[in-house]
């Protein structure tokens, strides 16, 4: 199938080599951490000394369950984090959903779900953790997408919701910057995760994959999640202390 993930480049496993301890005793929240990019991000933070609370819709080892689109559940999660960690240094919004759909198959419910998970939840989490982040001079890093800045066929609900996230976070960067909190985004291209197959499940067999392929990257293949995770950790680290309101594109040359 044309969307199947291939990285195309050899690389070392970042978890198998010694890493700098940039986040020793830093308090970090990672959403969408049960698999894919979020799992790698949470593991890297822990490897570098952070105290991590990881969440996803389904609990797994080291990951607590929370439906971030549910207001009550999200508020309870925030309260629990602040009790457990005693504050927060980094909010890492990785959770997201993507479901390809032709125009005729779009539904109000599907659109709302994309906006609830991809845009509303990260913005409301930032609001809920804002005072804790101000107290620690912390920062927020959110996963947007190249889909936020380019049109893609069959992907209207994802493109629109990620664009809302990107511009919302840029607005918060201005608002929170005066209070010492940095806010940044990473916009990945195609990542080799199960989300790719799940996103394509709603498309009919006769879909025009050539149309989708027009947004292929200069460097062939889907990226390993580790490549994108490194960008998130960079923005969350003290090395990026002068970086805010940024959108770091990691896409192998799609947006250029």
Q: What is the pLDDT along the chain (256 residues), one digit of tens a residue?
A: 333 344 444 455 666 678 889 999 999 999 999 999 999 999 999 999 999 999 999 999 999 999 999 999 999 999 999 999 999 999 999 999 999 999 999 999 999 999 999 999 999 999 999 999 999 999 999 999 999 999 888 999 999 999 999 999 999 999 999 999 999 999 998 776 665 555 556 566 666 655 655 556 677 677 899 999 999 999 999 999 999 999 999 988 886 5
**Residue 37 covered by a domain:** yes
* 253: in domain: no
Q: Using CA atoms, how far apart are residues 2 and 16, in angstroms rounded to an integer?
A: 31
- Domains of the chain: total: 1
Is 49 a domain residue?
yes
Taking the model in full, what pTM does it have? Answer: 0.86
CATH number at 116 reads 3.40.50.720
pLDDT of residue 210: 57
Helix (H) or strand (E) holding 221: none
What's the pLDDT at 5?
A: 42
Q: Quick check: is 158 catalytic?
A: yes
Is residue 237 a part of any domain in this protein? Answer: yes
pLDDT at residue number 89: 99
Residue 21 forms part of a structural domain? no
Q: Hey, which residues does 93 pair with through a beta bridge?
A: 142
User: Could you give the CA distance from residue 163 to residue 183 in angstroms, rounded to a whole number?
Assistant: 16
Which residues lie below 8 Å from residue 187, measured CB to CB, with a gap of 6+? 143, 144, 145, 146, 148, 149, 166, 247, 248, 249, 250, 251, 255
Has residue 118 been placed in a domain? Answer: yes
Report yes or no on 13 lying in a domain. no
List the beta strands (DSSP E) in 86-195.
90-93, 139-143, 182-188
pLDDT confidence of residue 61: 94
**Structural domain that includes position 164:** 27-248
165 and 184 Cβ atoms separated by less than 8 Å: no
240 secondary structure, DSSP code:
G
Closest CA to 45 of 81, 10, 83, 89: 89
Rounded to the nearest 5°, which phi and psi values hold at 129?
A: -95, 0
Catalytic residue, candidates 158, 169, 237, 248: 158
Token pair 């493109």: residue: 159
pLDDT at 196: 57
């Amino acid at each position: 199938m044309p969307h199947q993930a291939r990285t195309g480049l050899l690389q070392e496993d970042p978890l198998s080599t010694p890493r700098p301890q940039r986040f020793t005793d830093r308090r970090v929240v990672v959403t969408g951490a049960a698999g894919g990019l979020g799992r790698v991000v949470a593991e890297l933070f822990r490897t570098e000394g952070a105290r991590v609370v990881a969440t996803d819709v389904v609990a797994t080892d080291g990951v607590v369950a929370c439906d971030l689109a549910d207001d009550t559940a999200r508020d309870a999660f925030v309260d629990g984090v602040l009790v457990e960690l005693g504050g927060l240094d980094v909010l890492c919004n990785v959770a997201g959903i993507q479901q390809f759909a032709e125009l005729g198959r779009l539904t109000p419910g599907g659109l709302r779900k994309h906006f609830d998970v991809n845009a509303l939840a990260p913005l409301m989490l930032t609001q809920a953790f804002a005072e804790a982040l101000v107290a620690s001079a912390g920062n927020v890093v959110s996963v947007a997408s190249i889909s936020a800045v380019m049109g893609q066929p069959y992907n209207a609900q994802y493109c629109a919701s990620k664009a809302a996230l990107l511009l919302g976070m840029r607005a918060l960067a201005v608002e929170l910057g005066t209070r010492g909190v940095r806010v940044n985004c990473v916009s990945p291209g195609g990542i080799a995760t199960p989300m790719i197959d799940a996103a394509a499940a709603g498309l009919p067999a006769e879909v025009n994959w050539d149309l989708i392929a027009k947004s292929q990257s200069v460097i062939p293949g889907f990226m390993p999640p580790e490549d994108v995770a490194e960008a998130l950790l960079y923005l969350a680290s003290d090395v990026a202390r002068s970086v805010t309101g940024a959108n770091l594109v990691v896409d192998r040359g799609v947006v250029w």
